[in-house]
Amino acid sequence: MSCFQGVKKMQCPKCKTDTLQPSTLDNVIPCQTCKSCSGDWLMLEDYLNHKKQLPVSDKYSDHVVVESEESRLALLCPVTGTLMLKFRISKDTDHRLDLSPKVNGIWMDKGEWELLKAHGLADKLNSIFTDVWQRQIRESAAREQFDALYLTQFGEEDYQKIKSIRVWLHQHSQKDRLKAFLLADDPWSAIK
C-alpha cells in the first residue's frame, strides 16, 4: 500500500505548471512524477517499505555518466507548502535532494534517481538525510580543500615527502621525543 492512496493531486514543486501523476521508481517504489520536468516526489515511508525489492548494486561506478538536473532554488513541499531542506548526496557530486521534514517527502529532480544508483546510493537514500552522513560529506570536503592548499604551498614533491614523514612519525613509539627533537632550534644545546 502506498502513502499516496487517497491523496489529492499535487502541483509539481519544481516547474509549478503540472500536477504530479502516480508512477513508480524501478517499477517497485510508488512515487508521483511530473510529466513536464520528469521529477519524482517520493515518500520516505514508501521507499523504506519497498527498499528490499530494489534491483540496486552497492558498487560505485565513476565511469557512468548520468545526466541529471539540479534545483538550485528552494522548493516548496507539494503537501504542506513549506520550504524543503536540501541535503548533499555525496562528496563526489554537488547534487542535493530536497526533503520536506514535516511529511518525510523527497523531491528528486530529473535523473537524480539514476545518479543515486550510479553512485551505489539508491539503497541508502534514508541515510543521506542524517546528520552523520552530512557531517562526513563536510569533513571530506574540508580535507580535500586543505589537501589542495598544502599541495599549492609546499609543491608536489615536498608535500608527498612531508606526508610520508608524518605517517612514519605518527606510528613511531617515540613520536613525542622525535617531535621535540625536530622542533628544537638546537637539539644538541643540552649537550654543550
pLDDT digits over 103-136, tens only?
999 999 999 999 999 989 999 999 999 999 999 9
More confident residue, 48 or 56: 48
Q: What is the widest separation between alpha-carbon atoms in the chain? A: 88
Q: In 35-173, where do the E strands start and end?
A: 40-43, 85-90, 93-100, 105-108
163 pLDDT tier (thresholds 50, 70, 90): very high
Q: Which three cell numbers stand for residue 70?
A: 539540479
Instruction: Give the per-residue pLDDT at 7.
Output: 59
Q: Which residues contact 12 (CB under 8 A, 6 or more apart)?
A: 18, 19, 20, 34, 36, 37, 39, 78
What is the layout of strands, in order, in the sheet containing 85-90?
A: 20-25, 29-34, 40-43, 105-108, 93-100, 85-90
Instruction: Give the per-residue pLDDT at 176.
Output: 92
Q: Computed over its alpha carbons, how large is the radius of gyration of the chain?
A: 24
Max mean pLDDT among 53-62, 135-144, 178-187 falls in 135-144
Mean pLDDT of 56-83: 71
Mean pLDDT of 82-103: 93
Residue showing cell 586543505: 146
Mean pLDDT of 127-154: 93
